Each structure stands twice: as structure tokens, then as C-alpha cells.
Amino acid sequence: MTETPLTANIRPGEPLDLGAYERAGGYRAARQAVTQMTPAEVIDLVTQSKLRGRGGAGFSTGLKWSLVPKLEATPPPRYLVVNADEMEPGTFKDRLLLEGDPHQMVEAIIISAYAIQADSAFIFLRGEYHLAAKRLQRAIDEAAARQYIGPNSFGGAFSLSVHLHTSGGRYICGEETALLTALEGKRAIPRAKPPFPQISGLWGRPTVVNNVETLCNVPHIVNNGAAWFIGLGKDTDSGTKIFGASGRVRRPGTWELPMGTPLREILEEHAGGMQDGYELRAVLPGGASTGFIMAADLDVPMNYAAVEKCGSRLGTGAAIVLDQRTCPVGMLRNLEHFFAQESCGWCTPCRDGLPWVERLLAGIEAGQGAEEDLAILEEHVGLLGPGRTFCAHAPGAMAPLATGLKYFRADFEQHVHDQHCPWS
């Protein structure tokens, strides 16, 4: 039976309160880390576990933490920031964790803040996650009352304040430096790097930003060890992952599975396969800002390297299924509409290029497209690609478009030649 440490405590109804969470083994890892380990030992353990970021980039968590300067070189304050601004279309894994087991999040914050010697932690939460906010604040208050957080954490071994901040609601806040700018009360725009947040982040102080799912792995690594965590994965990547599926599948949802689980298993066994009358044509494997994988490649293991070999990215592990009865041009127009709306407007290619892409796709879908529009779209894939914009927003928007133009070229050409959408 597959181990599911992240979701073991999640059940219908109210989440575990502090007492029930402790009876299930909760806060044991935090107590061990804070009272029996040095911060360097915690960082070393997480590095050995090969935990990689679960928010999309897949960067080594231990390496990220190790880049924070030593206290002797850079005294407090320093900050831990939890990126809970889950706005990637098709992705809802962090919501599951925050609503279903909020004390796991609080315990993860304690250990992670201790590792980087942060005295303050902020949970930057998507504004629409009202239930998650309510349950998180209750868990924070319970932990503070038990003196697991506060000025005398675990008998004075550590001092930490934890603050819940609900976002104003912009997709760009998922980019870590834009998130920090928003947390400072300013317009959410990304910052130039270097300096990286570990050196100069929130209010110019050393800061680590990690995704919800990433941090929730930390208590289990402390409890069970690096070798155990590595052994949870099927192949090259460690641990489990909360995978999701949406679209015309029988059972849309999320499942905690080993890293490296084949995409076919996720869609056919856990999501139940396609609904009657629908056939799978392609999949965005990691949310809306990843490239299409075609049906012939469904046996790809869902790990970082294998998905990249297929021309896409693991991203958030949230598969969005395209069926044969849905217009791929219309699907892409819908996605690019979202990305155009959510551009922060800071750099010209993104601010002006994404609305232009959306207008071209809308015209093609409406039967008003021309042959040269396809060439212009392909040009934009390059102009808005990696290295051409201030952050990864526009390159992410180009990932589904680039692969859509590659795999669905005949559909685009049919729209142009017939001057109408065949699916309308």
C-alpha cells in the first residue's frame, strides 16, 4: 500500500484540532527539530532527502535554505513566507492540505523557520480561500496557546510569530518576488534577480519563499528520515506528490501518489478514465502553464526529467484533459484570455503581447482568421518566451500555445480555411 503522509489525517468534515493532531503524532517532529537538532542539521536532513519544490519550479528545498546567510553575517530579522496563493488554473492541491490538515502546515512552518533562523513567518493565502483562512487561523491560535509558536516556543528554545495574510487576488503573486512586493503593501510586480530573496527579500531582509505542499513534507522527513522519503518515490525523484485531474474524466480530483507515477495510471485508474462519449486527445500535465502531452505519451512517469523529455513540465502535477469534442483553439483562447488578464503589465512583451495573442485566437475561433495569423502566433511564442520577459508569466502562457500550434496545426488551418469553428 502506498504511503500517503501528506493526506493521512485528511477526512470529511472538520480537520483535526490540536489535541487530535498530537494524538496522531503531530508536533513530534517540531519538538525534535527545535530541541534536539541544530538549524544546520535540519537543512542537511532536508537536502539529503532530495525534496524539490512542489509549486512548479522543482528547485532543491535544502539548497534554497542553505543560501540564507548565517546569523553571524546577517542578524535578524529574517522571514519565512509560505506561498499559498494557489491561482494556477486546474490546480487545487494546496487547498486540500490547508483545509484538511492546517496543523500540518503550522508544524511545517515551525521546523522550516527554525532551520533558516527566521523569527517571523507569513502565510500568503489566496483571497478566495475563505475556509482555509478560517481553519488556518484557528490552528495558529491553538499552537500559540500551547506555546508551540510565540516568544517562548517549546520552552523558550525558539521564538517565532506566524501571520496569516489573505491576498488581493492576482496570479502574478505566485511569482515569489511579486508575492513579496505585494506582502509589503505595494503593487504586485516581480523584482530583478539577483539579489535573490534569500539575501534580500521581504523588506530587504533574508527571506525564503516555499510552496504549501513543499513545506508540508518537512515534518515527515524529520520524523522518518531522508532515506525513507527517497524510498517513497518510484524513480528519480523523492517522496509523494499530490496529483490532480480535471476535464472530462469520470472522477476529477486529487490523489497523493509516489513521484514518478505514470500519467496513464493517474488518469485511467484514479480519475476513472474518460466519461462516456469522450476520448482523450491531449493533456496539460502540470496546470495551465505547461505544454500539451499527446495521448501516445500517457505512459510518461510524472517526474521532472521525464515530463520535460516529452516537451512539457511537471508543474503543479494538475492534469487538464483535452477531449476530442472540445475545440483546441477555443481552449487555448480561454487560457490566453486568463494569462492576458493576469499580466502585471510590468514589461512590454507580456503587457502588450498576451492581449494580442488572445485577440488573434479569438478571431481564428470566430472564423475571422487569416493564414498570416498563424505565423504571428508562432512569432509571439519566441518573443514572449524564456529570457524575453521580466518573469516567467509570459513564457508560461506560451507553453500551451507553442505545443498547441505544433500538435493541432490542422485544427488551426481548418478554422482559417473554412472561416468558422468546426466545433461550434
Residue 283 sits in a domain of what CATH number?
Answer: 3.10.20.600
Whether 193 and 341 map to the same domain: the answer is: no
Query: Cα–Cα distance between 191 and 180 in angstroms, integer?
Result: 9
52 neighbors 60 (Cβ within 8 angstroms): yes
Could you tell me the three cell numbers for 54? 512542489
Domain CATH for 214 = 3.40.50.11540
Mean pLDDT, range 371-382, rounded to an integer? 96
Residue 71 confidence (pLDDT) above 70: yes
Whether 217 and 356 map to the same domain: the answer is: no
Q: Give the residue from 203, 231, 259 where a domain finishes.
A: 231
Whether 33 and 176 map to the same domain: the answer is: yes
Q: How many residues does the chain have?
A: 424
Whether 285 and 309 map to the same domain: the answer is: yes
The burial of 113, by beta-carbon neighbours within 10 Å (0-12 exposed, 13-18 middle, 19 or more buried), is given as: buried
Whether 406 and 257 map to the same domain: the answer is: no
Residue 50 confidence (pLDDT) above 60: yes
* pLDDT of res. 2: 60
Instruction: Tally helices (H) and strands (E) across the chain.
Output: 19, 10
Whether 95 and 145 map to the same domain: the answer is: yes
Task: Specify which residues 282 forms β-bridges with.
Answer: 294, 322
Whether 176 and 199 map to the same domain: the answer is: yes
Residue 1 confidence (pLDDT) above 60: no
pLDDT, tens digit, for every residue of 87-101? 888 889 999 999 999
Q: Please, what is the average pLDDT of the chain?
A: 94
Could you tell me the three cell numbers for 373? 495569423
Whether 121 and 168 map to the same domain: the answer is: yes
Residue 265 in any domain: the answer is yes
Per DSSP (E only), the strands in 234-363 are 240-246, 253-258, 280-284, 293-294, 318-323
Name the residue among 99, 80, 62, 111 with its Cα closest to residue 223: 111
pLDDT, tens digit, for every residue of 94-150? 999 999 999 999 999 999 999 999 999 999 999 899 999 999 999 999 999 999 999
Name the residue among 99, 132, 90, 87 with its Cα closest to residue 253: 90
Whether 92 and 210 map to the same domain: the answer is: yes
Residue 258 in any domain: the answer is yes
Query: Cα–Cα distance between 27 and 37 in angstroms, integer?
Result: 15
pLDDT > 70 in the chain, percent: 100
Residue 3 in any domain: the answer is no
Residue 424 in any domain: the answer is no
Residue 348 confidence (pLDDT) above 80: yes
Domain count, the chain: 3
Whether 61 and 153 map to the same domain: the answer is: yes
Name the residue among 192, 172, 190 with its Cα closest to residue 181: 190
Residue 12 in any domain: the answer is no
Residue 13 in any domain: the answer is no
pLDDT, tens digit, for every residue of 165-196? 998 878 899 899 999 999 999 999 999 888 99
Whether 156 and 282 map to the same domain: the answer is: no
328 neighbors 322 (Cβ within 8 angstroms): yes
Q: Give the residue from 180, 202, 231 where a domain finishes.
A: 231
Q: Give me the domain span that covers residue 247.
A: 240-323
Residue 224 in any domain: the answer is yes
Residue 7 in any domain: the answer is no
